[in-house]
Copies of this chain bind each other. A is one copy, B any other.
Amino acid sequence: MAVKVHPQGLCESDEVGDGTRVWAFAHVLKGAVVGKDCNICDCAFIEDGAVLGDRVTVKNAVLVWRGVTVGDDVFLGPNVLFTNDLRPRSGTAFSADDVVPTTVRNGASLGAGVVVVCGTEIGEYAFAGAGAVITRDVAPHSFVAGNPAVHKGWVGRCGARLTADDAGVWRCAECDESYELDDSSGRLRPKSA
């Protein structure tokens, strides 16, 4: 159950958890921290200073830079792009102090080709549709899409859309989960019993 690296993959970090696989043409730099049982697909790139939790799916060509922290059970779809600099200029000194952090919370999913502008937080079980360009925080369980990404609805843990019943309870037809909106924060939370 050690780290499994494809003969054409590069894993230079010694902080990668057991059971994680690194596929062809992927590159995990020395200093990158990756949890257990992750799947890092072809051409993905994990920079030193990036931190990934356990059971993260990193599809092909995903790029994760220093300053990006990804929780457990996150799905990063093909070609998901992070950033860590709000005003890049070539030739300008860029030090660790200049890095703008980004956080992806447990269980979130970013679809194919999603671009994440740095300085944002993507909440637990949030879901960004394919091609979304995320320019501000995404609330937990929020489904966002578009360029720039905007809130389009709510999803449950399984990823299915939630619908509100007459009592204002948000329910998943597939999972028997229920949630309610917190009026003060505008955020969804598991319904109290």
A10 contacts the other chain (CB 8 A): yes
Given A24-B27, A42-B27, A146-B147, A75 contacting B63 (CB threshold 8 A): no
Cβ–Cβ < 8 Å partners of A158 in chain B: 87, 89, 92
- From 55 to 86 in chain A, residues with beta carbon under 8 angstroms from any chain B beta carbon are 55-57, 60-61, 63, 73-75, 77-79, 81-83, 86
Cβ–Cβ < 8 Å partners of A24 in chain B: 10, 25, 27
From B42, B83, B130, give the contact of A45 (CB < 8 A).
Answer: B42
Query: A82-B112, A145-B148 provided; 13 other pairs, C-beta below 8 A?
Result: A60-B63, A61-B63, A78-B81, A78-B83, A83-B111, A87-B109, A87-B155, A87-B160, A88-B159, A89-B107, A89-B157, A115-B131, A133-B147
A interface residues with partner B (beta carbon < 8 Å): 8, 10, 24-25, 27, 42-43, 45, 55-57, 60-61, 63, 73-75, 77-79, 81-83, 86-92, 107, 109, 111-113, 115, 117, 127, 129-131, 133, 135, 145-148, 155, 157-160
